[in-house]
Amino acid sequence: MELTQRQKIIFKTIVDEFTRCAEPVGSKTLMQLLDFPVSSATIRNEMVTLEKAGLLEKTHTSSGRVPSQKGYRYYVEHLMETNLDVQVKDALQEVFAQRHYSLDEVVDKSCEILSHMTNLTSIVLGPDSRSQKLAHVQLIPISERSAVGIIVTDQGHTENKVFDFGTEVSAQDIKTCMELMNDQLIGTPISEVVEKMKEIEPLMAAKVVRHEVLFEAFVTAFMRFATEKVKVSGRSNMLYQPEFSDLNKLKELMKVLESSSLFHQWTDQEDNVAIQIDNRNELIQIGDCSVLTTKFHYTNDEEGQLMVVGPNRMQYSKVIALMDYMSSVIEDVFTNKGGQKKNE
């Protein structure tokens, strides 16, 4: 069904008002919100038409209407206007321009900002590093018991980690260990580094006095580096959403948000409805929940995802505008001034 211009305006106003206040919207409220004269009876007739089209639903507790799942999809695809305040844009740029961030830090910071600014739950997925190969390892002693380790992949990803060895390790041991790993491990896929380290452990034991301490530290670091980077922030925001007042429903959602594997199962269910909003954004409807996702690139070949999870009643235009802009800012973090990706 093709909506008239008046029906589109009335429907958009209902969605905007309901996502703002979580109260069903009636004809009297709409008369005050619309910027053109129209009678209450006319509005009611248009609402009935929109309900028959499957875009609105009537609640049991009020004469007002609320958007349906189909209605939200129609709004996102045809009526949504995204715009981000200049002050918000400047603030986001300032946050990431303050200093050089590692991949993990960008993931963490992005997640915190998203949950804070949307009052919803945010999830950021970094790239899976397992397909990359080790290009370089550097160890820089900062005390007798600790060192900074720098791991670089063939695709330009750099991870910094402070190793607290818990005991004194000589500078010579650190130097020998670093030389050995660069000699034996360069070109090894990240997913295979731990197994390769086990193979060269006897060689390390023969050359490094405190080899067991250094070996354990690097095995742990590479295992963490090889896993998908997932950060979740703002779980408690769900407590303030009326749609999740059912404690059992909230508990189930919290379980999903605690586990990346459960989350993937949840978003990949057959009866979910997913629509591509543009070449970067997607909306997934899962029962009473919606998941908005936005892609961003670390390199030309690898991408991560920003996600916001909340009730179907969320302020889509605000959330998508924020995610879209933030993804661009994140990409800028991994871009040199000349416009080339860091791994190029």
Task: Return the pLDDT at 183.
Answer: 92
d(CA 51, CA 67) in angstroms, rounded, equals 9
Q: Are strands 65-67 and 289-297 parallel, antiparallel or unpaired?
A: unpaired
Whether the per-residue pLDDT at 228 is higher than 70: the answer is no
| CATH class as words, domain 86-128+229-333 | alpha beta
Mean pLDDT, all residues of the chain: 85
Task: Return the pLDDT at 53.
Answer: 96
- CB–CB of 342/335 below 8 Å? yes
Helix (H, G, I), strand (E, B) or coil at 307: strand
Residue ranges of domains in the chain: 5-79, 86-128+229-333, 130-225
d(CA 197, CA 48) in angstroms, rounded, equals 68
Q: What are the pLDDT digits (tens) for 59-108? A: 776 678 999 999 999 999 999 988 888 888 888 888 877 766 766 677 78
d(CA 164, CA 137) in angstroms, rounded, equals 17
CATH number of this structure's domain 5-79: 1.10.10.10
Task: Return the pLDDT at 145.
Answer: 84
Show the tokens assigned to 198.
Answer: 């086990």
Name the nearest CA neighbour of 123 among 110, 133, 135: 110
Long-range contacts of 177-182 (CB under 8 A, 24+ apart): 177/139, 177/204, 177/208, 177/211, 177/214, 177/218, 178/137, 178/138, 178/139, 180/204, 180/207, 180/208, 181/137, 181/218, 182/136, 182/137
Mean pLDDT of 121-135: 78
Quote the pTM value.
0.71
| CATH class as words, domain 130-225 | alpha beta
